[in-house]
Chain A
Amino acid sequence: MAEIVTTPVAAPRRASAGGSGGTPVSRARRGRRRTLIAYLFLAPFLVLFLTFVVAPAIFGLWISVTDYSPFSDVQNFVGLQNYMALFDPASTFSGDFWQSMGATAIFVVLSVPCLVLVPLAVALLLNRRIRAATTFRTVFFAPYVLGVAVIGVIWGYILDTQSGILNHLLGLIGLPDNIPWTVNVPWVWVTLVGVTVWWTMGLNTVIFLAGLKGINGDLYEAAALDGAGPWRSFTAVTIPGLRPVMLFITTTTVLASANMFGQSYLLTTGGPGNATRTAIMYIADQGLSQNNMAPAAAMSYVLFAFLAVISVINFRLQRERVERTVA
Chain B
Amino acid sequence: MTATAIPETRQVQPTPEIRRPRSSRRAAGTTVLYIVLGILALIIILPLIWMLITSFKTDADAVRNPYGWPSPFSTEAYTRLLTSGQQPIFLWLWNSFAAAAVQTILILVTASMGAYALARMDFAGKRIIFGVIISTLLVPPVVFLIPNYLIVQNLGWLDTILAITVPGAAGAFGIFFLRQFFVALPVEIEEAARVDGAGEFRIFLQVVLPLARPALATLAVLSFLNNWNDFLWPVYVLLSPENMTLQPGLAMLQGAYRTHFAIVMAGAVIASVPVLILFGIAQKQIVESVAGAAVKG
**Measured CA separation A320–B170 after assembly (Å):** 35
| Band of interface residues on A | 35 or more
Known: A9-B289, A157-B264. A1 touches B229 (CB 8 A): yes
| Complex Cα gap A156–B273 (Å) | 19
A112 within 8 A of B: no
Indicate whether A313 reaches chain B with its CB closer than 8 angstroms.
no
The contact string, 1 if C-beta is below 8 Å from chain B, for chain A 247-280, is: 0100000010011011001100000000000011
Does any Cβ of A come within 8 Å of B18's Cβ?
Answer: no
Closest Cβ of chain B to A314, distance in Å, is 13
Interface pair A142/B276, CB less than 8 Å apart:
yes
Q: Is A38 an interface residue (CB 8 A)?
A: yes
Residue of A nearest to B29 (CB): A128
The answer to whether B231 touches A52, judged by C-beta atoms less than 8 angstroms apart, is no
Report yes or no: A56 in contact with B151, Cβ–Cβ below 8 A. Answer: yes
Chain B residues near A5 (CB-CB < 8 A): 137, 173, 293
Residue B5 at the chain A interface, CB threshold 8 Å: yes
Residue of B nearest to A266 (CB): B251
Residue B60, interface by CB 8 Å:
no
Determine the residue in chain B with the shortest Cβ distance to A261: B232
| A283 touching B142, Cβ below 8 Å | yes
The chain B residue with its CB closest to the CB of A289 is: B236
- The interface residues of chain B lying within 8 Å CB-to-CB of A11 are 181, 184
- Chain A nearest CB, measured from B274 CB (Å): 10
CA distance A42 to B246 in the complex (A): 33
- Within 8 Å of chain A (Cβ to Cβ): is B47? yes
Residues on B with C-beta less than 8 A from A176 are none
CB distance from A60 to the nearest CB of B (A): 4
Knowing A17-B187, A165-B67, the reply to whether A142 touches B142 (Cβ < 8 A) is: no
Which chain B residue shows the least CB distance to A283?
B142
Residues of B within 8 A of A155 (CB): 47
Of A76-84, A85-93, A220-228, A295-303, the segment with at least 4 beta carbons within 8 Å of chain B is A295-303
> Which residues of A lie under 8 Å from residue B125 when comparing CB positions?
35
| Residues A311 and B292 in contact in the complex (CB < 8 Å), given A16-B183, A35-B124, A114-B1 | no
- Cross-chain contact A7 with B118 (CB below 8 angstroms): no
Within 8 A of B (CB), among A113-149: 114, 117-118, 121-122, 124-126, 128, 130, 136-143, 145-149
Task: Please report which residues of chain A, range 213-241, place their CB below 8 angstroms from some CB of chain B when the two chains form the complex.
Answer: 214, 230
| Interface pair A60/B144, CB less than 8 Å apart | yes
> Is B149 close to A, CB under 8 A?
yes
Beta-carbon contact of B287 and A137 below 8 Å: yes
CA distance A214 to B184 in the complex (A): 20
Partner of A10, one of B1, B5, B261, B295: B295
Q: How far is the CA of A154 from the CA of B52 in the complex (A)?
A: 10
Complex alpha-carbon distance, A169 and B113, angstroms: 55
Interface residues of B in 56-78 (CB under 8 A from A): 63, 66-67
| B54 vs chain A, min Cβ distance (A) | 8
Cβ B181 vs Cβ A56 within 8 A: no
> Out of B67, B121, B288, which one reaches A38, CB within 8 Å?
B121
List chain A residues, Cβ under 8 A from B67: 165, 168-169
- The docked-state distance in angstroms from the alpha carbon of A168 to that of B64 is 12
Indicate whether A154 sits within 8 Å of B265 (C-beta atoms), given known contacts A1-B229, A125-B33.
Answer: yes
Bitwise interface map of A from 96 to 122 toward B, beta carbon under 8 Å scored 1, else 0: 000000000000000000100110011
Say whether, besides A130-B34, A145-B279, A153-B254, A63 and B147 are in contact (CB < 8 Å): yes
Chain B, 204-236, contact with A by CB distance < 8 Å: what is the 0/1 string?
100000000001001000100110111110011
Q: Which of B6, B144, B186, B294 contacts A53 (CB 8 A)?
A: B144
Inter-subunit contact B184/A10 (CB<8 Å): yes
**Would A214 and B265 be within 8 Å (CB), given that A6-B289, A138-B287, A153-B250 are in contact?**
no
Cross-chain contact A140 with B44 (CB below 8 angstroms)? yes
With a cutoff of 8 Å between Cβ atoms, the chain B residues found around residue A143 in the complex are 44, 48
Q: Out of A17, A56, A148, which one reaches B231, CB within 8 Å?
A: A148
Stretch at the interface among B9-17, B35-43, B81-89: B35-43
Partner of B295, one of A130, A152, A214: A214
Complex Cα distance A35/B183, Å? 18
Q: A10-B296, A48-B166, A53-B144 are in contact. List 12 more A-B contacts (CB 8 A).
A: A6-B177, A31-B123, A37-B121, A42-B113, A46-B114, A57-B136, A125-B36, A153-B267, A169-B67, A244-B297, A279-B142, A283-B142
Query: Can you list 5 A-B contacts with CB-CB less than 8 angstroms, sorted by A residue number?
Result: A11-B181, A39-B117, A150-B250, A198-B1, A266-B251
Nearest 6 pairs of A and B residues by beta carbon: A147-B229, A45-B114, A56-B147, A1-B229, A210-B291, A41-B117
